[in-house]
Chain A
Amino acid sequence: MQLAYTTEEQAFREEVGSFIRDNLPADVRDKVLNGKTMGREDYLRWHRLLYERGWVAPHWPVEHGGAGWTAVQRHIFEDECAEAGAPPVIPFGTTMCGPVIIRFGNDWQKQYFLPKILSGEHVWCQGFSEPGSGSDLASLRTKAVREGDHYIVDGQKTWTTSAHFADWIFNLVRTDPAAKKQEGISFLLIDMKTPGITVRPIVTMDGSAEINEVFFDNVKVPAKNLVGEENKGWTYAKFLLGNERTGIARVGASKRELKKLKEIASNEREGGRPLAASPRFRDKIAALEVELMALEITNLRMIAAMRGGKGPGPESSILKLKGSDIQQRLAELVMEALGPYAMPFQREAMEAGWNEEPIGPDYAAFAAPHYFNNRKISIYGGSNEIQRNVIAKMMLGL
């Protein structure tokens, strides 16, 4: 047992660090560090830089443009990027749809889509959830009927992150209404510009517009956009959700937020002294930091286990549970640190380029909205209740 990184791994960390220092655009970094609204182009500028360096989808097989890294290298890379304030690569193409196409797609799909996912030409979104099908995803009802060399898609997806700026959506659709619910589902790739698709934004309680409803009315999709076999979509979706779990602990991003929390707590005053000196508040930060340390090592243990070639198992639910909890607590403490100045609602201040005088300190505008927005982390990607069910069932056999 030994914790230190090898010399090669340390050299790799430095290589990544210096790449970020030399390339990450300052304004994008500022948006990430200060929690400002990010647009498509903000994500894509960094995406393209990573692409040019060959690092945009490091986990892909090398022949498709992956970096051939070990699990540890990938972790180092993600950690460095998050801590430095690089935006995450939008996961829908590189982490979700890409690996499904690589594993189950046909040759045309590989040749057409993979390079465009890598280059950032295509931004993807994920059309899984529906109004009636969230945790019980397999009950989904959006249907696709085969007509000649097309499918006709009708139905509705919801909570679809980034659908308002995505070029493509990967959809789970029902192709056999008679089969058992998991067995009649197919995995279909749909161009968002196809006639019959309507995207309607959903504003979340913090005032941001990152999710959408997507309506499909008689949408004609070429049959060659079907991934793998008809009615085998559930298998592919499970494969995809397994991939989604890597990096789910978000240790790097939480380290960055912890640093910010400490800065804010040092800057805010209580009774003339920094809030960071208040025993109650210090204790809360310290206790959270301990949790984060434990999660980092838990994460590393699972990554080390993957080094032996094992995929991420149900243990990744542990990472999702603790990771979401820590992210939510961090946002909560930032909001608490602001005291009464968490109250002013300054939505405009969250847009880049806003340069009026803020109400309270310049970090105040973000505190409460982030806290409200972060409640989503324990809901999406398999709610925390579902994660506990997975642990109970898959790990414990209960």
Chain B
Amino acid sequence: MDFDFSEEQRLLDETVRRLVKDEYDIVKRKSYIAAPEGFSRKLWARYAELGLLGLPFAESEGGFGGSAVETMIVMESFGRGLVVEPYLAAIVLGAGLVSLAGSAAQKRAILPQVASGKRLLAFAHGERQSRYALADVETTASREGGGWVLDGRKGVVLNGDSADTLIVSARSAGTSRERRGITMFLVDTKAKGVGIRGYPTVDGLRAAEVTLESVRVAGDAVLGEPDGAYPVIEHAVDRALAALCAEAVGIMETLNAVTLDYLKTRKQFGVPIGAFQALQHRMADMVVEHEQAKSMAMLAALSADLTDVAERRRVISAAKVQIGKSGRFVGQQSIQLHGGIGMTEEYLAGHYFKRLTMIEQSFGDTDHHLNRFAEVTLPAG
């Protein structure tokens, strides 16, 4: 047993840490968010140069053949600096889906462009009624000639407004909420009938509502097996969850560091507030929560590609539950221990707190993953 990084992983960790440290603080972040797409194209190009955008897929596909552990390393540092570039949407999810399900031709056409930063992908899957249920797809796909016609609405599509290509899930067979009968399509965002309403999210990212009105796509736009997309979607989302757990751990690390610093420097009643035992204990609990979260994020990274799907589900959902609980405690307490300063837009803690809060509500909240975990560990029979 060993939790140490390999030499390459250590180098990756160092590189990304340094990059984030140099390029990110709360003021710079604000300027990146102010760009029309809500992030920095310049930094995106840097990530491409460093090989980060091709990290999670095979060398034969134009990538660098990293595993979920490499993704964890990147996302943890992205969490530390509260990075806003669409790594989760375009790389972990978008490129992840193409790499998991694409034909050789699709991979050749798309992945090298993704790795070089030229093409952005987004995953248009969730719908207004679906909440966190991955099989709840009502957008329809019907065959027409050799191609397909797509109709429906997709909601809160992460970075959907800057994507070149959407990966759209649609129901091609079966009844709503059935796992069988979902097909994925590659859809050009400029295709006729695609409507995109982009907006900022409360945590400083971007998302979009997507409408599909009689959108016609060719037969080769199908990504993966017709009617059989569910297992791939679930796998890609599990990887995204592992990545989010790592991001959350990075966020908690920063929040704990700034809070500890504040306890040592803020004086009230003639002493640093860290002299009050009530706050010492609170801070100690925050550190315990961060360690617990970190353990589970590591476990999630090591399990995101397990072939035993039930085991993968069990671990990923457990990690998300732990991150939800730890993140809520660390987030709320870091604001509380800062007093009034913690409430302000100008100070960094609030931004970290908001992102941490929204991570809890991404791809299944704590309740959702408690259920999913219990379905494996306590089958109702």
Contacts and interface: CB of A to CB of B under 8 A. Distances in A.
For A133, A342, A378, the residue with the greatest tally of chain B CB atoms inside 10 Å of its CB is A342
Given A139-B268, A204-B344, A360-B155, A339 B361 contact: yes
Contact of A204 (B268, B276, B345): B345
B132 A340 contact: yes
A207 B345 contact: yes
Nearest to B157: A340
Contacts of A89: none
B11 interface: no
Nearest to B335: A375
For B209, B361, B365, the residue with the greatest tally of chain A CB atoms inside 10 Å of its CB is B361
Given A343-B202, A345-B200, A134 B268 contact: yes
Given A268-B131, A383-B336, A384-B336, A340 B197 contact: no
Nearest to A346: B199
B207 interface: yes
B350 interface: yes
A325 to B, nearest CB: 11
A372 to B, nearest CB: 6
Contacts of B370: 280
Contacts of B340: 129, 134, 158-159, 211, 379-380
Interface in A252-303: 268-272, 275, 278, 280-281
B239 interface: no
* B interface, over-half SS: mixed
Contact of B126 (A203, A340, A385): A340
B332 interface: yes
Contacts of A315: none
Nearest to A281: B367
A344 B268 contact: no
Interface stretch (B101-109, B184-192, B351-359): B351-359
A339 B336 CA distance: 25
A371 interface: yes
Nearest to B360: A336
Nearest to A278: B367
Contact of A376 (B133, B270, B332, B343): B343
A272 B177 contact: yes
Given A340-B362, A342-B358, A135 B269 contact: yes
Contact of B358 (A158, A343, A360, A380): A343
B357 A379 contact: no
B207 A339 contact: no
B350 A372 contact: yes
A384 B131 CA distance: 34
A342 B361 contact: yes
Contact of A339 (B131, B268, B276, B357): B131
A389 B277 CA distance: 11
B344 A205 contact: yes
A341 B361 CA distance: 9
A87 interface: no
Contacts of A48: none
B343 A388 contact: no
A359 to B, nearest CB: 6
Contacts of B274: none
B199 A342 contact: no
B365 A336 contact: yes
B368 to A, nearest CB: 9
Nearest to A209: B345
Contacts of B177: 271-272
Q: How large is the interface on B (under 10, 10 to 19, 20 to 34, 35 or more residues)?
A: 35 or more
A137 B278 CA distance: 19
For A135, A202, A343, A378, the residue with the greatest tally of chain B CB atoms inside 10 Å of its CB is A343
Nearest to A384: B336
B346 interface: yes
Interface in A330-380: 335-336, 338-346, 359-360, 368-369, 371-372, 375-376, 378-380
B361 A343 contact: yes
Contact of A343 (B131, B203, B353): B203
A205 B336 contact: no
A136 interface: yes
Contact of A385 (B156, B279, B343): B279
A203 B276 contact: no
B358 A134 contact: no
B142 to A, nearest CB: 23
Nearest to B200: A345
B339 A383 contact: yes
Contacts of B201: 343-345
B342 interface: yes
Contact of A205 (B197, B209, B350, B358): B350
For A341, A371, A378, the residue with the greatest tally of chain B CB atoms inside 10 Å of its CB is A341
Contacts of B268: 133-136, 139
A271 B136 contact: yes
B31 interface: no
A108 B209 CA distance: 61
Nearest to B132: A339
B128 interface: yes
Given A135-B268, A136-B268, A375-B332, A340 B156 contact: yes
A135 B339 CA distance: 9
Contact of B342 (A132, A272, A379, A389): A379
A345 B176 CA distance: 29
Contacts of A388: 278
Contacts of B202: 342-345, 368-369, 372
Interface in A143-167: 158-159
B129 interface: yes
B377 interface: no
Contacts of A135: 268-269, 339
Contacts of A272: 129, 136, 176-177
A324 to B, nearest CB: 11
B199 A375 contact: no
Contacts of A368: 202, 354, 357-358
18 contacts: A139-B268, A202-B344, A207-B345, A272-B129, A272-B176, A275-B131, A278-B367, A281-B367, A341-B156, A342-B361, A343-B201, A343-B202, A344-B200, A359-B199, A359-B209, A379-B339, A380-B340, A385-B336
Interface of A: 129, 132-136, 139, 158-159, 202-205, 207, 211, 268-272, 275, 278, 280-281, 335-336, 338-346, 359-360, 368-369, 371-372, 375-376, 378-380, 383-385, 388-389
Interface of B: 126, 128-129, 131-133, 136, 155-156, 176-177, 197, 199-203, 207, 209, 267-270, 276, 278-279, 332, 335-336, 339-340, 342-346, 350-351, 353-354, 357-358, 361-362, 365, 367, 370-371
Given A335-B361, A340-B155, A345-B202, 9 more contacts: A135-B269, A336-B367, A340-B126, A340-B361, A340-B362, A343-B362, A368-B354, A375-B342, A379-B342
Give 6 nearest A-B pairs by CB, closest first.
A205-B350, A136-B268, A203-B345, A340-B156, A343-B201, A368-B202
